[in-house]
Structure 1
Amino acid sequence: MSTQTQTKGKTLLVTVGSTQFAELSDAVLAESTIAALRAAGVSTLIVQLGFAPIPAHVAAVVGREGGKGEVGGLRVEVMRYTGSPGEMDALMRSADGVVSHAGSGSILAALRMPRPLLVVPNDALMDDHQQELAEALKEGGYLSVSDVDQLAAGVQEMFGTQHKPFPPAKPERFAAILDETAGFV
């Protein structure tokens, strides 16, 4: 009896956090991006897209409110939101890479896993704070940055780049700053 072994491809998690970033979810679910991800070795795509509409070719497979199915040769799971921060952490831990909007909470969660991270700032937001945060962390060597139009190339760069480990959290430093600010020291 012969055993056939299949190589497990990469799992990619895409998250927009609690915002709506339809440009990112539309780009990652576009047929051309799905084909490029598959060619890059991604076999499973998990997309958390908030209230953004699910593209018709994907909704025909996973449903209008999300679900699981095969799209363009990838296993695709689409969800509106996770049930808890712990659920998002579990998804990040199970992923080989994360694509995220440039929200600070999502960025820090992925960097602390640690997982390769591609940040796509939402340039429709006021004051470009997402772009500034993403660029500062890229300059530090912690993550990759892309725009929506270069998403597939950004994912390939993310998987091909060795990022620096993000420093661990030091809650005692925050407590000391808080104590000093409040005049307890």
Structure 2
Amino acid sequence: MTRSVKFLFILAFLSLSAFYLYVLYLAKHPDTSMAYRMYYLEKKTRVWNRNQSLAYIPGTVMDLANERERCAYLSREGWDIPAKDGSGSLFSGKGGLYFTLHQVLGSLKFEGTLTTKTANTELSFAVGDKWSETVKFEKAGSQTFEVSLPAGVFIADPMEPNYLSLQSNNSIMFKTFKLSRAG
């Protein structure tokens, strides 16, 4: 083997090594959208958001009853896809909502409509260890809820997801959610 062939072989080997190191770096630090990362890489959200964003605009109603407009904020745990009859999305056990905010609005209220299947159903809300509250529904059937969230529990950063945790002792059929400014 001549010197030039050895040199070309070593050059090719070093080039391929550099290329594969770069590919490993990209695999470890992917440059993807928040929605893509949360659905495909971290496997946290239930629905792929075709709009490439988990940005939530406070005051917008999250419709959980429409089978075609699936809510991209739902976690994989706890939620089922919307029922075809329009009655909502079944929630049981633990789960929550992932979303980003572009600005902090101060105190917020979280409200929604749901149907409880059994009486004395408890629904707990939490944001990390910053805040938690429990709502108890005495009767079975169609219900509404509203909880107040203090200022500072959510992060206003489009690259950092917020997580609102939900936990229930019985199955609940959720129809809508809305996070809006309190007062």
Higher helix share: 1
Structure showing greater Rg: 2
Q: Which has the higher contact order (CA 8 A, sep 6+)?
A: 2
TM-score, normalization by structure 2: 0.26
